[in-house]
């Protein structure tokens, strides 16, 4: 057997909205695509209740009236930049409720669903794509957006249900993904290091304080070196023009400082069906074949 005969690795990212695939783990994605890994993004909602966050487009009635279609076009462009497959799970964006107390979520939106039922479409995706690795958000959604929290819930549910032959039999034969990760790149250790690097370069930078940051204390397990793919990440992020201000805080730290100051995207390994050792530098640790022994050594 040669390396060309070995099966391709497969990675599934599950995200709440179009643009999340570009703001969370996109450099990791680009790295693995370049290495020949098959990567798919499952997008839970269409982002149709998302605000227009780019001040250059805010207030444009044409944009606001066609936001659902515009976001689909933005997703198509980001998908092309990242080189991934992408599937819509078809749920309705919940929006981000504001107020004290916040208003109830719209009837029938993603955040109101029973995750045991809503996991069904994702079970089908997992069984058809057969990923070795699945990523999503932590139990708080990374931040407490109802769609992000529900994305976490249905991913955990589907990760387990897809392997159960008695669950969702109409969605095909069972598939056990080997590893489940949570995205963890927005954490205090990274922010502190980048802020220090900015000050050393004579530049001002103050990241917002995080009252609670469990990610710096025992939850970070996996650090994927992908700094050379930060430009691809940024290009994919800019493709979501209604969501990203190209002059805004996402791009406040110069690229070279980001690459030198914190060159990884970071994760928490939550489930592994294969042996591995922490810390990891590869989402596929334990899944790659052992180095082949040259024939002349056999």
Between residues 142 and 85, which one has the greater pLDDT?
85
pLDDT at residue 60 tops 50:
yes
Cis peptide before 279 (omega within 30 of 0): yes
Q: What is the pLDDT of residue 294?
A: 55
Q: What mean pLDDT is predicted for residues 173-195?
A: 94
User: How much is the pLDDT for 215?
Assistant: 67
Question: So what's the pLDDT on residue 210?
Answer: 63
Q: Give the C-alpha distances (Å, rounded to integers) separating 221 from 165, 185, 234, 266, 279.
A: 31, 11, 24, 8, 5
pLDDT > 90: what percent of the chain? 73
pLDDT of 293 strictly over 80: no
Q: Cβ-count burial of 218 within 10 angstroms (0-12 exposed, 13-18 middle, 19+ buried)?
A: exposed
Interval 234-284: pLDDT, tens: 999 999 999 988 888 889 899 999 999 999 999 999 999 999 999 999 999
Domains of the chain, by residue range, sit at 8-289
pLDDT band at residue 61 using 50, 70 and 90 as cut-offs: confident
Read off the pLDDT band of 296 (50, 70, 90): low
Residue 171 is labelled as binding a ligand: no
> Would you say 17 is a known binding-site residue?
yes
Residue 89: exposed, middle, or buried by beta-carbon count in 10 A (0-12, 13-18, 19+)?
Answer: buried
User: Which structure tokens are listed for 28?
Assistant: 């990791």
Q: Among the CATH numbers 3.90.1150.10, 3.40.50.10320, 3.40.50.2020, 3.40.50.1000, which is that of 8-289?
A: 3.40.50.10320
For 70-128, the pLDDT digits (tens) are 999 999 999 999 999 999 999 999 999 888 788 999 999 999 999 999 999 999 999 99
How high is the pLDDT of residue 223? Answer: 97
CB 119 within 8 A of CB 89: no
pLDDT score recorded for residue 166? 97
pLDDT band at 218 (very low <50, low <70, confident <90, very high): confident
Q: Residue 1 has what pLDDT?
A: 39
**Confidence band of 4 (pLDDT split at 50, 70, 90):** very low
Closest CA to 168 of 105, 128, 119: 119
- Quick: pLDDT tens for 24-53: 999 999 999 999 999 999 999 999 998 888
20 annotated as ligand-binding: yes
CB 62 within 8 A of CB 18: no
């Amino acid at each position: 057997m040669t390396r060309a005969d070995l099966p391709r690795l497969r990675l599934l990212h599950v995200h709440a909205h179009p643009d999340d695939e570009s703001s969370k783990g996109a450099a990791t994605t680009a790295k693995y695509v370049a290495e020949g890994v098959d990567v798919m993004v499952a997008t839970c909602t269409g982002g149709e209740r998302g605000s227009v966050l780019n001040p250059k487009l805010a207030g444009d009635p044409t944009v606001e009236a066609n936001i659902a279609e515009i976001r689909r076009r933005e997703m198509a462009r980001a998908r092309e930049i990242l080189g991934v497959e992408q599937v819509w799970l078809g749920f309705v964006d919940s929006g981000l409720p504001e107020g004290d107390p916040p208003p109830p979520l719209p009837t029938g939106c993603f955040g109101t669903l029973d995750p045991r039922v809503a996991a069904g479409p994702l079970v089908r995706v997992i069984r058809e794509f057969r990923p070795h690795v699945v990523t999503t958000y932590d139990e708080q959604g990374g931040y407490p957006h109802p769609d992000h929290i529900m994305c976490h819930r249905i991913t955990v549910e589907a990760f387990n249900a897809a392997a159960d032959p008695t669950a969702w039999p109409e969605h095909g034969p069972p598939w056990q993904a080997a590893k489940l990760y949570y995205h963890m790149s927005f954490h205090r250790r990274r922010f502190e290091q980048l802020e220090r690097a900015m000050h050393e370069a004579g530049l001002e930078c103050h990241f917002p304080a995080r009252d609670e940051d469990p990610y710096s204390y025992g939850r970070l397990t996996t650090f994927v070196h992908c700094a050379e793919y930060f430009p691809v990440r940024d290009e994919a992020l800019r493709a979501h023009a209604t969501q990203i201000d190209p002059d805004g805080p996402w791009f406040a730290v110069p690229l070279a400082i980001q690459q030198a100051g914190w060159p990884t995207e970071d994760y928490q390994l939550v489930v592994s069906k294969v042996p591995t050792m922490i810390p990891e530098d590869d989402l596929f640790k334990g899944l790659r074949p052992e180095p082949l022994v040259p024939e002349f050594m056999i």
